[in-house]
Amino acid sequence: MNRLTQRFDSLRAAGAKCLVPYLTAAYPSLDASLALLKRLTNPRIGAIEIGFPFSDPIADGPVIQTSFHRALERGFRASTFFAGVKSARAQIAAPLIAMVSYSIVFARGVDAFAAAAAEAGFDGLLVPDLSLEECETVAAACKARGLSLIMICAPTSDAARRDRIRTISAPFVYYQAVAGITGERSSLPADLGARVAELRGGATSVCVGFGISAAAQVREVCRVADGAIVGSAIVRRINEAIDAGKADASIVDSVAGFVDELAEGAA
């Protein structure tokens, strides 16, 4: 049982909800990225999702695309990031999920990527452009390395597809609150609670992402789901801090404080 499964089992046993913050790997720099991972120790954090920069993201909006572009311009390499995480893992409290395009996984080799992720200290993979019909190879590689495989369920998925996703994804299903790309939104769908209830189907935990940007929305989501995933609102603050010429240490302090604010919504 890996750290991610243990964390969600503990949350479920306690009847607690959680925040899953998203960070872009090695952004604003490798050192700052690792410093942020060490700083995010709030007990309401269920896991940290880490996006691996990619030139052609599928569902990421302009905020995360900007972070990917900048990280790639600065020479991002997955192998370097893996090495950095491995060196810092003992000082990182939260379970880690690698959000990575299948193109990157395939280029390295499915087994090789899963092995590298596990060795670095990751606890799960989330491959947003991996189709349900073709996920068996990745699922098997994750299982062999003790990694969880997190699947995304779209609001357009029918009942049969939801059932299949629920059987593969563990320890939670990532429910995409709205169709389209990632980004901050002022309101969430009125039928979110009903959609989550359909997907949960008993014992499955469900975390909701896309459009969540403030503690009040985290609280709203956690009334009906097991956790809230926040990405663009966090990354936007990093983008703006870089544009303002802020030093890495200042960015780490600011982002860590904002994540703590968001986590209050999961109380």
| CATH classification of the domain holding 193 | 3.20.20.70
Tokens of residue 63, six digits: 């905020």
Q: Is residue 119 part of a domain?
A: yes
Going by pLDDT thresholds of 50, 70 and 90, the confidence category of residue 230 is very high
Supply the DSSP string of 18-84, one letter for each residue.
Answer: EEEEEEETT-S-HHHHHHHHHH---TTB--EEEEPP-SS-SS--HHHHHHHHHHHHTT--HHHHHHH
Catalytic residue, chosen from 49, 123, 220, 226, is: 49
Q: Is 226 a catalytic residue?
A: no
Residue 191 lies in a domain: yes
pTM score, whole prediction: 0.94
Which of 239, 248, 241, 244 is CA-nearest to residue 69?
239
Q: Would you state the pLDDT for residue 184?
A: 52
- Of 9, 31, 60, 248, the active-site residue reads 60
| Residue 183 confidence (pLDDT) | 52
Give pLDDT, residue 244. 98
Number of domains in the chain: 1
C-alpha–C-alpha distance, residues 101 and 110, integer Å: 12
60 in active site: yes
What band does 210 get if pLDDT is binned at 50, 70 and 90?
A: confident
Q: 241 lies in which domain range?
A: 3-8+16-259
Does 181 reside within a domain?
A: yes
Mean pLDDT for the stretch of residues 228-252: 97
pLDDT in tens, 172-201: 999 998 765 555 555 677 888 888 988 887
How much is the pLDDT for 233?
94
Residue 98 has what pLDDT?
A: 98
Which pLDDT score is estimated for 182?
56
Q: Say which residue, 195 or 91, is predicted with more confidence.
A: 91
Q: For 169, which DSSP code?
A: S
Q: Is residue 265 part of a domain?
A: no
Mean of the pLDDT values across residues 118-130?
96
Whether the pLDDT of residue 240 is over 80: the answer is yes
Region 41-63 average pLDDT:
89
Q: Is residue 264 part of a domain?
A: no
Q: Can you read off the two tokens belonging to residue 22?
A: 């998203």
